[in-house]
Chain A
Amino acid sequence: MSKVTTLQEAAASIPDGSTVAIGGLSMNSAPMALVRELVRQQKKDLDLVAIVSGMAVDWLVVGGCVRRVLAGLVSFEGLGLAPNFRAAVQSGQVAIEEYSEHLLICRLQAQSYNLPFMPTKAGLGTDVLGLHAESGAVREEKDGPTGEHYVACTRLPVDVALVHAHEADDRGNTRVNPKLVWMDNEIVNAATRTVASVERVVDNAAFTAEPERTTYPRFMIDTVAPAPMGAYPCSCFPDYGHDSGFFMEYSQAARDRETFTQFFQERVVGPETWEDFLAVNSVATGASA
């Protein structure tokens, strides 16, 4: 049975209250087409796992979809803070569960390896650990035989991972081209279920011809949703870069609530289909072909 479906149906399969992990690294390869569809479908009470993220978290937060953000870093990098994320955390509208990059990766690894915890030196001596004193989700421990200090990172269950990739076949074999899977394979391996948006669907023969290039085997990918330019305004290396102009216009609009509401409606959630969205933002499709 084909795993290929639409963005709309892929997003519809994610219930309110899910723990959703968002792929990508900062401005690289975030699954923006799927994220936009979650916002359009007005999902509620999602717990987001976002290791190093920005625009994706900001859309979901301002869309009212988020209960809690588990993150190592949320920003627009040199282009500023993620404005709605910042405001929502400051006002207490959204809870944040604070991590560093590697603490979160290690929790995901403990989950995927089915181990009680993964040890790391990450976070030692910082205030991050104190925030988890009650839950013990990440906790400082000392190895008995060696006396070495480490942080034990406990399992982090994830209901669904959202990633963006270049190509998949209808069975779910998926590849990133070239095979760069920063921050993505952690969440795919940990999640109960993964939805991949892809630049294009290709024949299975493309995978069997070059099996060494496959990034995720079909049993790890549950749903494939075609979305050309599906990481926009983030990048999908090497097909297209991030659109700094969009980031700057977005941040500029966010200085005023009314201006932003209009911007978000017109430029992000208003357009009905992904193709409409790209047209409104003057993004040429086919650039990725």
Chain B
Amino acid sequence: MSTPVPGYDCTMDELMVVTFSRAMANDTRAFNGAVSFIPVCGYLLARRTHAPELVWAASSIAVDADPDEIGDSTLSDSLWGGASMLSNSPFDFWSYAQGARYNTFAFRGAQMDAYGNVNNTVIGPYDAPKVRLPGGGGMADLGAMIPRIYLWSSTHDPRTFVDQLHFRSGIGWGDGGDHRERMGMPGGPQLCITNLCVFDFEPSSKRMRLASLHPGVTAGQVQEATGFDVIMPNGDIPTTAEPTAEELHILRTEVDPTSARLREF
């Protein structure tokens, strides 16, 4: 379950969705993978508010879908209602993705490092894992192809935000610096939205930098919950902006009336 945000008339899941939504520009052309409730809500909310031209392909298949509600799977056909096109095979999808016609993708992992690389493959040594996770799926692919990558986590703690991944399933900024550029990969991670704060990425090192703190959270708490050194910005650290009543109303009544987003909490 989610928790109230002190001083704001909303809960943490709602703050994360709205923050994600506001990061989406009108020229966003996005799609989504498995267990991606926060981004799916974010795309739908952005399209209903400030980004009417935003493209979202539900489950990477159903272009411009507008489901009545979000079910228990963000890959399933239950999300395809109202679509103007069902892409009938992956060939179109991978053309749109590899050619960066799709420009936005969000992923998360059981572990993330300072450069926004993620692990969703194993906890522990690869050959004798403590926990075998689902595997990289499309994130190993799309991390290398999509210019605007967004990360999120509803479990901001040192187990999730680690100095060393046990396995790099998906690439963010790679080894940092100009690694992506050298490899011929477009763009890279833009933001990481967590249940404590928002990170952006320091432009030269490409490491996570504190961009805003959620109400009631201190920079010290963020550092304590993070297994790598967090870059602090120059000057005051802003508080993550409050969702408007309109955003919350649309999220609660139109985008996600059954609160599927709480499956991530």
Instruction: Check: B133 CB closer than 8 A to any chain A CB.
Output: yes
Smallest distance from the beta carbon of A84 to chain B beta carbons, Å?
11
Instruction: Check: B257 CB closer than 8 A to any chain A CB.
Output: no
- Pick from B134-142, B208-216, B232-240 the stretch touching chain A: B134-142
Q: Which residues of B contact A71 (CB under 8 A)?
A: 135
Q: Which residues of A contact B88 (CB under 8 A)?
A: 178-181
By the criterion CB–CB under 8 Å, are A78 and B131 in contact? no
With A125-B174, A126-B169, A128-B169 already in contact, the answer to whether A75 and B134 are too (CB < 8 A) is yes
By the criterion CB–CB under 8 Å, are A103 and B140 in contact? yes
Q: Which residues of A contact B131 (CB under 8 A)?
A: 86, 90
Chain B residues bordering chain A, tally (CB within 8 A): 50
Instruction: Check: B5 CB closer than 8 A to any chain A CB.
Output: no
Name B153-180 residues within 8 Å CB distance of A: 167-171, 174, 179-180
Question: Bound state CA distance, A89 and B167, in angstroms?
Answer: 16
Q: Which residues of A contact B179 (CB under 8 A)?
A: 125
The total of Cβ contacts below 8 Å across the A-B interface reads 163
Instruction: Check: B126 CB closer than 8 A to any chain A CB.
Output: yes
Smallest distance from the beta carbon of B236 to chain A beta carbons, Å?
35
Question: Bound state CA distance, A25 and B134, in angstroms?
Answer: 14
By the criterion CB–CB under 8 Å, are A100 and B136 in contact? yes
- Pick from B42-50, B67-75, B191-199, B245-253 the stretch touching chain A: B67-75
Question: Bound state CA distance, A148 and B186, in angstroms?
Answer: 13
By the criterion CB–CB under 8 Å, are B183 and A149 in contact? yes
Instruction: Check: A183 CB closer than 8 A to any chain B CB.
Output: yes
A26 partner, pick from B75, B128, B141, B171, beta carbons under 8 A: B75
Residue of chain B at shortest CB distance from A248: B72
Question: Bound state CA distance, A78 and B132, in angstroms?
Answer: 16
Question: Bound state CA distance, A14 and B132, in angstroms?
Answer: 29
By the criterion CB–CB under 8 Å, are A81 and B133 in contact? yes
By the criterion CB–CB under 8 Å, are B185 and A121 in contact? yes
Question: Bound state CA distance, A249 and B141, in angstroms?
Answer: 33
With A72-B137, A126-B140 already in contact, the answer to whether A79 and B76 are too (CB < 8 A) is no
B34 partner, pick from A26, A180, A181, A237, beta carbons under 8 A: A26
B168 partner, pick from A127, A180, A183, A237, beta carbons under 8 A: A127
Name B68-98 residues within 8 Å CB distance of A: 71-78, 80, 86, 88-90, 94, 98
Residue of chain B at shortest CB distance from A127: B168
Question: Bound state CA distance, A11 and B76, in angstroms?
Answer: 27
Q: Which residues of A contact B18 (CB under 8 A)?
A: none
Instruction: Check: B112 CB closer than 8 A to any chain A CB.
Output: no
| Extra pairs beyond A75-B135, A105-B90, A121-B185 (10, CB < 8 Å) | A27-B76, A73-B134, A73-B138, A77-B75, A77-B76, A92-B128, A126-B143, A127-B126, A180-B88, A185-B89
A: which residues have CB within 8 A of B? Answer: 25-28, 52, 71-75, 77-79, 81-82, 85-86, 89-90, 92, 96, 98-103, 105, 120-128, 131, 148-149, 178-183, 185-186, 235, 237-238, 241-242, 244
